A = this chain, B = another copy of it.
Amino acid sequence: MEQLLRVQNFVVSRDGFGAGEGQSLERPFGHADPAELFAWAGATASWPRRTDPGGSRGLDDYFTRDFGRNIGAEIMGRNKFGPQRGPWQDHEWRGWWGDEPPFRTPVFVLTHHPRPSFTLSDTTFHFVDGDPASVLARAREAAAGKDVRLGGGATTIRAFLDADLVDTLHVAVSPVKLGAGVRLWESPDELRDRYHLDVVPSPSGVTHHVFWRR
C-alpha cells in the first residue's frame, strides 16, 4: 500500500505567504491575522477546533474533513510548533494547541536542538534532526501504513518539495494580501512541471489548489 506525503489545508495569502513577519507568542502568524486566513475553514462543520454544533457542509467542508483521513503521522517545522528559536529554554511550552492537539497521531517536529518527546491526549510530539528524506522515513514507520501529513510552515513545505518528496498538496489561497512574510511560492504555476493542478474557487472567497504528481 502506497504511503503518501500530503499537504492538507495549508493556507497562503494571495501573494504567496504562509505566515507574516515577526512571529511571537502573541502573534503565531506574525503580522498576518490567522482568523482572517482560516475563516473559510472555521466556518465548516468538520473544523477540528469547532466548539459549537452547526457549520457549513459545502465544498470547503470536503477539505476540512479530509484533514485526518488515513493520516498516521505529521511532520512540522519548528516554527509551526512555537515561537522559540535556538536551544530549548522553556520546556513548559508544549505547542499552541492546549491539552488536546488536533493531530491525534505522532508528530515529528524538525529542530537541530534535542528535546524529549511528550504526549498530550492522542498526540505525541517527537523532536528530530535530519534531512527531509530521513525524517520522512521515520514518520512513515510511525504511521504504520497510513499516509503522512506535511503540516508546514511554508519553509518546511519548500524543503520537502525541493527534495521531491511531496505526493499531494492542498493549498487554500486566501484573498488576503500580506506583502511580506514566509513565502511558499511566487505563483502556484511553479509546481506545474511536476504536478497536475486543479484550481477550485470556493464561494467562501478562497481558491483551493489541489496538486498531485504527474
Interface centre among A59, A62, A196, by most chain B C-beta atoms within 10 angstroms, is: A62
Interface residue tally on A, bucketed by range: 20 to 34
* Binding stretch for chain B, among A11-19, A27-35, A82-90, A197-205: A197-205
Per assembly, the copies of the chain total 2
Select one of B2, B56, B198 contacting A196, CB under 8 A. B56
Residues of B contacting A198 with CB < 8 Å? 58-59, 202-203
Residues of B contacting A146 with CB < 8 Å? none
Q: Is the CB of A58 within 8 A of B202?
A: no
Annotate A174-214 by CB proximity to B: 1 below 8 A, 0 otherwise. Answer: 00000000000000000000001110101100001010100
Q: Is the CB of B69 within 8 A of A200?
A: no
Select one of B65, B167, B212 contacting A69, CB under 8 A. B65
Given known A198-B202, A198-B203, contact A62–B58 (CB-CB < 8 A): no
Select one of B2, B53, B57, B197 contacting A210, CB under 8 A. B57
Q: Is the CB of B202 within 8 A of A56?
A: no
Please tell me if A100 contacts chain B, counting CB pairs below 8 Å.
no
Select one of B59, B168, B200 contacting A57, CB under 8 A. B168
Please tell me if A66 contacts chain B, counting CB pairs below 8 Å.
yes
Please tell me if A63 contacts chain B, counting CB pairs below 8 Å.
yes
Q: Is the CB of B66 within 8 A of A62?
A: yes
Chain A residues in the interface with B (C-beta under 8 A): 2, 45, 53, 56-59, 61-63, 65-66, 69, 167-168, 196-198, 200, 202-203, 208, 210, 212
16 A-B pairs whose Cβ atoms sit less than 8 Å apart in the complex: A45-B212, A57-B167, A57-B168, A57-B196, A58-B196, A58-B198, A59-B208, A59-B210, A61-B212, A62-B62, A62-B66, A62-B210, A65-B66, A69-B69, A198-B202, A198-B203
